Homo-oligomer: A and B are copies of this chain.
Amino acid sequence: MSLFLSVVPVSEAIEVVRRTAPLPGCEDIPLKDALHRALAGDVCADSDIPGFDRSTVDGYAVAAADTTGASEAIPAMLPCRGRVGMGSRDAGSISPGACKYVPTGGALPRGADAVVMIEHAEQIGDDVLVHRPVAPGENVVSRGEDFRAGEVVLERGRVLSPRDIGVAAAVGAGRVSVATVPRIGIISTGNEVVPVAATPGPGEVRDANSHLAGAFVTERGCRPVYFGIVRDERAALEKAISSALDTCDVVLVSGGSSKDERDNTAAVIADLGKVLVHGIALAPGKPTIIGTARGKPIIGLPGHPASAFVVLVAIVDHLLAAMLGTTISRRTLSARLRQNIPSTRGREDYVRVSVRDGEAVPVFGKSGLLNTLVQSDGVVRVPASSEGFEVGEEVEVILW
Protein backbone atom coordinates (compact mmCIF):
# COMPACT_ATOMS: atom_id res chain seq x y z
CA MET A 1 0.00 0.00 0.00
CA SER A 2 1.03 3.56 -0.52
CA LEU A 3 1.58 5.64 2.58
CA PHE A 4 1.07 8.78 0.64
CA LEU A 5 -2.60 9.15 0.11
CA SER A 6 -3.83 12.24 -1.57
CA VAL A 7 -4.87 15.22 0.51
CA VAL A 8 -8.52 14.91 1.60
CA PRO A 9 -11.05 17.66 2.38
CA VAL A 10 -11.66 18.55 6.01
CA SER A 11 -15.20 17.14 5.88
CA GLU A 12 -13.85 13.77 4.80
CA ALA A 13 -11.20 13.77 7.53
CA ILE A 14 -13.94 14.45 10.08
CA GLU A 15 -15.98 11.57 8.64
CA VAL A 16 -13.01 9.27 8.98
CA VAL A 17 -12.24 10.16 12.61
CA ARG A 18 -15.90 9.80 13.57
CA ARG A 19 -16.01 6.41 11.91
CA THR A 20 -12.92 5.20 13.74
CA ALA A 21 -14.11 6.51 17.14
CA PRO A 22 -14.61 3.69 19.67
CA LEU A 23 -18.17 3.61 21.01
CA PRO A 24 -18.64 5.41 24.31
CA GLY A 25 -18.79 3.29 27.46
CA CYS A 26 -20.90 4.41 30.37
CA GLU A 27 -20.77 4.53 34.14
CA ASP A 28 -23.02 5.63 36.99
CA ILE A 29 -21.63 8.44 39.11
CA PRO A 30 -22.91 10.77 41.83
CA LEU A 31 -24.49 13.92 40.44
CA LYS A 32 -22.08 16.04 42.49
CA ASP A 33 -19.19 14.70 40.40
CA ALA A 34 -20.94 15.02 37.06
CA LEU A 35 -20.15 18.61 36.06
CA HIS A 36 -19.08 18.74 32.39
CA ARG A 37 -19.61 15.01 31.92
CA ALA A 38 -21.61 13.79 28.90
CA LEU A 39 -24.90 12.07 29.68
CA ALA A 40 -25.06 8.47 28.47
CA GLY A 41 -28.82 8.29 29.02
CA ASP A 42 -31.72 10.69 29.37
CA VAL A 43 -32.42 12.20 32.76
CA CYS A 44 -36.16 11.99 33.42
CA ALA A 45 -38.31 13.50 36.15
CA ASP A 46 -39.05 10.76 38.68
CA SER A 47 -42.29 12.46 39.73
CA ASP A 48 -44.30 15.58 39.01
CA ILE A 49 -42.21 18.70 39.68
CA PRO A 50 -43.35 20.45 41.74
CA GLY A 51 -45.15 17.66 43.51
CA PHE A 52 -47.88 20.01 44.74
CA ASP A 53 -49.52 23.32 43.86
CA ARG A 54 -47.00 25.82 45.14
CA SER A 55 -47.19 29.52 45.89
CA THR A 56 -44.62 31.72 44.15
CA VAL A 57 -45.17 34.63 46.55
CA ASP A 58 -45.75 35.41 50.20
CA GLY A 59 -49.49 35.96 50.47
CA TYR A 60 -52.96 34.59 51.09
CA ALA A 61 -54.22 31.43 49.44
CA VAL A 62 -57.77 31.99 48.24
CA ALA A 63 -60.43 30.70 45.91
CA ALA A 64 -59.97 33.20 43.09
CA ALA A 65 -63.73 33.56 42.69
CA ASP A 66 -63.89 35.04 46.19
CA THR A 67 -61.83 38.05 45.08
CA THR A 68 -63.93 38.99 42.04
CA GLY A 69 -64.46 42.74 41.96
CA ALA A 70 -62.18 43.45 44.92
CA SER A 71 -60.62 46.93 44.86
CA GLU A 72 -58.91 49.46 47.11
CA ALA A 73 -62.26 51.14 47.65
CA ILE A 74 -64.30 47.98 48.15
CA PRO A 75 -61.94 45.21 49.31
CA ALA A 76 -63.06 41.63 49.67
CA MET A 77 -62.99 40.57 53.30
CA LEU A 78 -61.93 36.98 53.95
CA PRO A 79 -61.48 35.41 57.37
CA CYS A 80 -57.93 34.07 57.73
CA ARG A 81 -57.62 30.42 58.78
CA GLY A 82 -54.02 30.45 59.97
CA ARG A 83 -50.76 29.81 58.12
CA VAL A 84 -49.31 27.07 55.96
CA GLY A 85 -45.94 26.04 57.40
CA MET A 86 -42.99 25.62 55.02
CA GLY A 87 -42.46 21.95 54.33
CA SER A 88 -45.59 21.03 56.20
CA ARG A 89 -46.88 17.81 54.67
CA ASP A 90 -50.47 18.90 55.02
CA ALA A 91 -51.42 22.42 54.02
CA GLY A 92 -54.94 21.81 55.28
CA SER A 93 -57.90 23.33 53.52
CA ILE A 94 -59.99 26.47 53.34
CA SER A 95 -63.71 26.67 53.09
CA PRO A 96 -65.31 28.97 50.49
CA GLY A 97 -64.93 32.62 51.41
CA ALA A 98 -61.91 32.06 53.67
CA CYS A 99 -58.12 32.37 53.15
CA LYS A 100 -54.88 31.10 54.65
CA TYR A 101 -51.41 32.67 54.76
CA VAL A 102 -48.90 30.85 52.60
CA PRO A 103 -45.19 31.67 52.29
CA THR A 104 -43.29 31.62 48.99
CA GLY A 105 -42.71 27.99 48.10
CA GLY A 106 -45.46 26.81 50.40
CA ALA A 107 -48.23 24.41 49.37
CA LEU A 108 -51.73 25.63 48.58
CA PRO A 109 -54.40 24.39 50.97
CA ARG A 110 -57.24 22.40 49.44
CA GLY A 111 -59.99 24.71 48.25
CA ALA A 112 -57.54 27.43 47.14
CA ASP A 113 -56.57 28.03 43.51
CA ALA A 114 -54.66 31.35 43.66
CA VAL A 115 -52.58 33.50 45.99
CA VAL A 116 -53.01 37.20 46.74
CA MET A 117 -49.63 38.88 47.34
CA ILE A 118 -49.28 40.39 50.81
CA GLU A 119 -48.62 43.72 49.08
CA HIS A 120 -52.22 43.62 47.83
CA ALA A 121 -53.84 42.63 51.11
CA GLU A 122 -54.11 43.87 54.65
CA GLN A 123 -54.61 41.69 57.70
CA ILE A 124 -56.84 43.17 60.37
CA GLY A 125 -57.24 40.89 63.32
CA ASP A 126 -58.52 37.57 62.01
CA ASP A 127 -59.65 39.04 58.71
CA VAL A 128 -57.80 39.85 55.49
CA LEU A 129 -58.84 42.71 53.22
CA VAL A 130 -58.02 41.89 49.60
CA HIS A 131 -57.53 44.98 47.43
CA ARG A 132 -57.21 43.34 44.02
CA PRO A 133 -58.82 40.37 42.35
CA VAL A 134 -56.69 37.36 41.37
CA ALA A 135 -57.33 34.94 38.52
CA PRO A 136 -57.35 31.16 39.05
CA GLY A 137 -53.72 29.94 39.02
CA GLU A 138 -52.29 33.40 39.72
CA ASN A 139 -49.04 33.29 41.74
CA VAL A 140 -49.18 29.51 41.71
CA VAL A 141 -47.06 26.87 40.02
CA SER A 142 -49.27 23.85 39.60
CA ARG A 143 -48.25 20.31 40.37
CA GLY A 144 -46.28 18.98 37.39
CA GLU A 145 -46.16 22.37 35.66
CA ASP A 146 -42.37 22.38 35.61
CA PHE A 147 -41.88 18.74 34.66
CA ARG A 148 -44.32 15.83 34.41
CA ALA A 149 -43.37 12.50 35.95
CA GLY A 150 -41.39 10.57 33.33
CA GLU A 151 -40.70 13.61 31.16
CA VAL A 152 -37.20 13.85 29.66
CA VAL A 153 -35.49 16.74 31.40
CA LEU A 154 -31.96 16.41 30.02
CA GLU A 155 -31.15 14.46 26.90
CA ARG A 156 -28.50 11.84 26.40
CA GLY A 157 -25.37 13.40 24.92
CA ARG A 158 -25.76 16.65 26.83
CA VAL A 159 -22.61 17.88 28.56
CA LEU A 160 -23.78 18.83 32.02
CA SER A 161 -23.58 22.51 32.93
CA PRO A 162 -24.09 23.86 36.45
CA ARG A 163 -27.72 24.64 35.54
CA ASP A 164 -28.21 21.08 34.37
CA ILE A 165 -26.78 19.75 37.62
CA GLY A 166 -29.24 21.86 39.59
CA VAL A 167 -32.19 20.72 37.53
CA ALA A 168 -31.11 17.07 37.68
CA ALA A 169 -31.02 17.38 41.48
CA ALA A 170 -34.54 18.80 41.49
CA VAL A 171 -35.90 15.81 39.56
CA GLY A 172 -34.20 13.28 41.81
CA ALA A 173 -31.22 12.23 39.71
CA GLY A 174 -28.77 11.77 42.57
CA ARG A 175 -26.72 9.55 40.32
CA VAL A 176 -26.41 9.87 36.55
CA SER A 177 -25.23 7.65 33.76
CA VAL A 178 -22.41 9.34 31.88
CA ALA A 179 -19.95 8.39 29.17
CA THR A 180 -16.75 6.96 30.58
CA VAL A 181 -13.76 9.26 30.29
CA PRO A 182 -11.73 8.32 27.21
CA ARG A 183 -8.03 7.86 27.85
CA ILE A 184 -5.94 9.68 25.32
CA GLY A 185 -2.33 8.55 24.93
CA ILE A 186 -0.01 11.42 24.06
CA ILE A 187 3.37 10.88 22.49
CA SER A 188 5.81 13.57 21.41
CA THR A 189 8.30 12.71 18.71
CA GLY A 190 11.33 14.49 17.43
CA ASN A 191 15.05 14.39 18.03
CA GLU A 192 14.91 18.14 18.60
CA VAL A 193 12.31 17.92 21.40
CA VAL A 194 13.45 18.26 25.04
CA PRO A 195 11.37 18.19 28.24
CA VAL A 196 9.95 21.46 29.54
CA ALA A 197 12.28 21.37 32.54
CA ALA A 198 15.34 21.19 30.28
CA THR A 199 17.15 24.17 28.81
CA PRO A 200 17.08 23.65 25.08
CA GLY A 201 20.43 23.80 23.34
CA PRO A 202 20.85 25.17 19.82
CA GLY A 203 18.53 23.35 17.46
CA GLU A 204 16.32 22.10 20.32
CA VAL A 205 12.80 23.07 21.39
CA ARG A 206 10.73 22.20 24.42
CA ASP A 207 7.86 19.74 24.34
CA ALA A 208 4.98 22.20 24.08
CA ASN A 209 2.74 19.81 22.15
CA SER A 210 2.28 17.22 24.91
CA HIS A 211 1.10 19.95 27.23
CA LEU A 212 -1.07 21.58 24.60
CA ALA A 213 -2.74 18.33 23.55
CA GLY A 214 -3.07 17.14 27.15
CA ALA A 215 -4.79 20.34 28.24
CA PHE A 216 -7.01 20.32 25.16
CA VAL A 217 -8.32 16.79 25.72
CA THR A 218 -8.75 17.50 29.44
CA GLU A 219 -10.92 20.51 28.64
CA ARG A 220 -12.97 18.29 26.34
CA GLY A 221 -13.63 15.80 29.15
CA CYS A 222 -10.93 13.23 28.41
CA ARG A 223 -7.95 12.02 30.43
CA PRO A 224 -4.49 12.51 28.96
CA VAL A 225 -1.91 9.79 29.54
CA TYR A 226 1.58 11.01 28.76
CA PHE A 227 4.09 8.71 27.10
CA GLY A 228 6.91 11.22 26.95
CA ILE A 229 9.27 12.17 24.17
CA VAL A 230 10.36 9.55 21.66
CA ARG A 231 13.22 9.90 19.22
CA ASP A 232 12.51 9.74 15.53
CA GLU A 233 13.38 6.10 15.17
CA ARG A 234 10.89 3.58 13.93
CA ALA A 235 11.53 1.00 16.62
CA ALA A 236 11.23 3.52 19.44
CA LEU A 237 8.09 5.09 18.00
CA GLU A 238 6.49 1.70 17.34
CA LYS A 239 7.15 0.64 20.92
CA ALA A 240 5.67 3.86 22.31
CA ILE A 241 2.53 3.74 20.15
CA SER A 242 2.07 0.08 20.92
CA SER A 243 2.23 0.59 24.65
CA ALA A 244 -0.12 3.59 24.38
CA LEU A 245 -2.58 1.34 22.51
CA ASP A 246 -2.42 -1.12 25.41
CA THR A 247 -3.99 1.28 27.88
CA CYS A 248 -5.57 4.10 25.89
CA ASP A 249 -8.57 4.54 23.61
CA VAL A 250 -6.83 6.92 21.21
CA VAL A 251 -3.22 7.81 20.54
CA LEU A 252 -2.09 11.29 19.55
CA VAL A 253 1.40 11.38 18.12
CA SER A 254 2.49 14.95 18.08
CA GLY A 255 5.52 16.17 16.26
CA GLY A 256 7.00 15.49 12.93
CA SER A 257 7.20 18.84 11.21
CA SER A 258 9.48 17.67 8.46
CA LYS A 259 8.60 15.31 5.68
CA ASP A 260 11.05 12.69 6.91
CA GLU A 261 9.54 12.65 10.37
CA ARG A 262 5.98 12.50 9.05
CA ASP A 263 6.85 9.65 6.77
CA ASN A 264 8.38 7.87 9.72
CA THR A 265 5.21 8.23 11.79
CA ALA A 266 3.03 7.11 8.88
CA ALA A 267 5.23 4.08 8.29
CA VAL A 268 4.97 3.02 11.92
CA ILE A 269 1.17 3.41 11.89
CA ALA A 270 1.04 1.37 8.67
CA ASP A 271 3.12 -1.34 10.34
CA LEU A 272 0.81 -1.47 13.33
CA GLY A 273 -2.46 -1.06 11.43
CA LYS A 274 -3.55 1.20 8.64
CA VAL A 275 -3.05 4.77 7.46
CA LEU A 276 -6.43 6.18 6.42
CA VAL A 277 -5.56 9.80 5.74
CA HIS A 278 -2.18 11.35 5.12
CA GLY A 279 -2.67 15.01 4.42
CA ILE A 280 -5.73 17.22 4.89
CA ALA A 281 -6.72 20.24 2.78
CA LEU A 282 -6.38 22.42 5.85
CA ALA A 283 -4.07 25.31 6.61
CA PRO A 284 -2.35 25.21 8.95
CA GLY A 285 -2.53 21.49 9.59
CA LYS A 286 -1.99 19.90 6.19
CA PRO A 287 0.52 17.24 7.32
CA THR A 288 -1.95 15.40 9.55
CA ILE A 289 -2.12 11.62 9.63
CA ILE A 290 -5.19 9.59 10.59
CA GLY A 291 -4.72 5.92 11.13
CA THR A 292 -6.08 3.04 13.10
CA ALA A 293 -4.64 0.02 14.84
CA ARG A 294 -6.26 -2.60 17.07
CA GLY A 295 -9.55 -0.82 16.50
CA LYS A 296 -8.25 2.44 17.95
CA PRO A 297 -7.63 5.73 16.19
CA ILE A 298 -4.10 7.10 15.95
CA ILE A 299 -3.70 10.72 14.96
CA GLY A 300 -0.41 12.21 13.81
CA LEU A 301 -0.47 15.92 14.61
CA PRO A 302 1.75 18.49 12.90
CA GLY A 303 4.90 19.31 14.82
CA HIS A 304 4.36 22.96 15.36
CA PRO A 305 2.07 23.79 18.30
CA ALA A 306 0.16 26.48 16.42
CA SER A 307 -0.62 24.03 13.61
CA ALA A 308 -1.25 21.17 16.03
CA PHE A 309 -3.82 23.28 17.84
CA VAL A 310 -5.79 23.98 14.68
CA VAL A 311 -5.91 20.24 14.00
CA LEU A 312 -7.08 19.60 17.56
CA VAL A 313 -9.91 22.11 17.05
CA ALA A 314 -10.81 21.23 13.46
CA ILE A 315 -10.45 17.44 13.53
CA VAL A 316 -9.66 15.85 16.91
CA ASP A 317 -12.55 17.65 18.64
CA HIS A 318 -14.93 15.66 16.43
CA LEU A 319 -13.24 12.41 17.39
CA LEU A 320 -13.51 13.14 21.11
CA ALA A 321 -17.15 14.23 20.79
CA ALA A 322 -18.00 10.98 18.99
CA MET A 323 -16.28 8.97 21.73
CA LEU A 324 -18.33 10.80 24.35
CA GLY A 325 -21.56 10.38 22.40
CA THR A 326 -22.02 14.13 22.29
CA THR A 327 -21.84 16.93 19.77
CA ILE A 328 -19.39 19.80 19.63
CA SER A 329 -20.88 22.98 20.96
CA ARG A 330 -18.77 25.83 19.86
CA ARG A 331 -18.86 29.30 21.21
CA THR A 332 -18.92 31.62 18.24
CA LEU A 333 -19.52 35.28 17.67
CA SER A 334 -19.94 37.33 14.57
CA ALA A 335 -17.62 40.22 13.96
CA ARG A 336 -16.74 42.57 11.16
CA LEU A 337 -13.37 41.99 9.51
CA ARG A 338 -10.86 44.81 9.87
CA GLN A 339 -8.60 43.44 7.14
CA ASN A 340 -8.93 41.22 4.12
CA ILE A 341 -8.35 37.51 4.65
CA PRO A 342 -7.02 36.09 1.40
CA SER A 343 -7.25 32.35 0.99
CA THR A 344 -6.67 29.66 -1.56
CA ARG A 345 -9.62 27.85 -3.05
CA GLY A 346 -9.48 24.12 -2.41
CA ARG A 347 -8.29 24.16 1.16
CA GLU A 348 -9.91 25.19 4.42
CA ASP A 349 -8.03 27.99 6.13
CA TYR A 350 -8.15 28.63 9.86
CA VAL A 351 -7.06 32.21 10.33
CA ARG A 352 -6.35 33.33 13.89
CA VAL A 353 -8.05 36.57 14.84
CA SER A 354 -8.29 38.78 17.86
CA VAL A 355 -11.64 40.39 18.53
CA ARG A 356 -11.85 44.01 19.69
CA ASP A 357 -15.08 46.01 19.90
CA GLY A 358 -16.93 43.73 17.54
CA GLU A 359 -14.13 43.76 14.99
CA ALA A 360 -12.08 40.72 14.03
CA VAL A 361 -8.43 41.52 13.41
CA PRO A 362 -6.46 38.78 11.68
CA VAL A 363 -3.33 37.86 13.61
CA PHE A 364 -1.02 37.20 10.72
CA GLY A 365 2.58 36.32 11.29
CA LYS A 366 4.86 33.58 10.20
CA SER A 367 3.50 30.12 10.53
CA GLY A 368 5.28 28.69 13.49
CA LEU A 369 4.99 31.62 15.88
CA LEU A 370 3.56 30.64 19.24
CA ASN A 371 2.65 34.17 20.18
CA THR A 372 -0.20 34.10 17.65
CA LEU A 373 -1.84 31.48 19.89
CA VAL A 374 -1.98 33.73 22.93
CA GLN A 375 -2.73 36.90 20.97
CA SER A 376 -5.76 35.44 19.20
CA ASP A 377 -9.24 34.94 20.61
CA GLY A 378 -10.28 32.42 18.02
CA VAL A 379 -10.24 31.51 14.38
CA VAL A 380 -12.15 32.41 11.26
CA ARG A 381 -12.76 29.38 9.08
CA VAL A 382 -12.46 30.08 5.38
CA PRO A 383 -14.21 27.22 3.56
CA ALA A 384 -12.41 25.39 0.78
CA SER A 385 -14.88 26.84 -1.73
CA SER A 386 -13.95 30.44 -0.88
CA GLU A 387 -11.09 32.70 -1.91
CA GLY A 388 -11.26 34.57 1.35
CA PHE A 389 -13.17 37.36 3.02
CA GLU A 390 -13.01 41.09 2.49
CA VAL A 391 -12.57 43.90 4.95
CA GLY A 392 -15.94 44.90 6.42
CA GLU A 393 -17.50 41.47 5.87
CA GLU A 394 -19.33 39.89 8.78
CA VAL A 395 -17.55 36.67 9.71
CA GLU A 396 -18.11 33.99 12.30
CA VAL A 397 -15.32 33.68 14.85
CA ILE A 398 -14.93 30.29 16.53
CA LEU A 399 -13.72 31.24 20.00
CA TRP A 400 -11.06 28.95 21.36
Q: Is A87 an interface residue (CB 8 A)?
A: yes
Look across to chain B and name the residue whose beta carbon is closest to the beta carbon of A118: B259
Given the known interface contacts A31-B196, A172-B196, A203-B107, the answer about A216 and B374 at a Cβ–Cβ threshold of 8 Å is no
Q: How far is the CA of A87 from the CA of B230 in the complex (A)?
A: 13
**Contact between chains at B399 and A331 (CB < 8 Å):** yes
Q: Which of A9-17, A46-54, A274-282 lines the interface with chain B? A: A46-54
Contact mask for chain A residues 15-54; partner B; CB cutoff 8 A; 1 contact, 0 none: 0000000000000000110011000000000110111101
| Chain A 132-171 interface 0/1 with B at a Cβ cutoff of 8 Å (1 = within) | 0000000001000111000001100000111111111111
Known: A86-B258, A203-B89, A261-B86. A35 touches B219 (CB 8 A): yes
Task: Choose among B173, B211, B258, B367 the residue that contacts A169 (Cβ–Cβ < 8 A).
Answer: B211
Alpha-carbon gap, A37 to B231, bound state (A):
32
| Contacting residues, chain B, for A195 (C-beta < 8 A) | 174
A369 to B216, CA, bound (A): 36
Majority secondary structure of chain A interface residues (helix, strand, loop or mixed): loop
Per-position binary interface string of chain A over residues 240-255, scored 1 when its CB falls under 8 Å from any chain B CB and 0 otherwise: 0000000000000000
Chain B residues within an 8 Å CB radius of A219: 35-36, 161-162
Q: Is the CB of B369 within 8 A of A146?
A: yes
Q: CB distance A368 to B141 under 8 Å?
A: yes
Known interface pairs A166-B212, A202-B51, A374-B167. Does A104 touch B258 (Cβ–Cβ under 8 Å)?
yes
Given A52-B203, A203-B106, CB of A166 within 8 Å of CB of B366: no
Q: Which of B105, B154, B191, B197 contacts A258 (CB 8 A)?
A: B105
Contact at B31–A257, with CB atoms within 8 Å? Answer: no
Q: Which of A61-69, A121-129, A303-311, A383-391 contacts B (4 or more CB under 8 A)?
A: A303-311
CA distance A174 to B209 in the complex (A): 13
Chain B min CB distance to A114 (Å): 13
In angstroms, Cα B370 to Cα A212, docked, is 38
Q: Does A371 contact B (CB under 8 A)?
A: yes
Within A84-105, which residues are at the interface with B (CB < 8 Å)? 84-91, 103-105
Known: A199-B172, A202-B90. A56 touches B211 (CB 8 A): no
Which residue in B56, B161, B191, B305 is a CB contact (below 8 Å) of A368?
B56
19 extra A-B contacts, CB within 8 A, seeds A35-B218, A84-B203: A31-B211, A58-B258, A91-B202, A103-B260, A104-B303, A141-B366, A141-B369, A145-B366, A161-B400, A162-B212, A162-B309, A162-B312, A163-B400, A165-B212, A165-B214, A166-B211, A167-B208, A167-B374, A171-B206
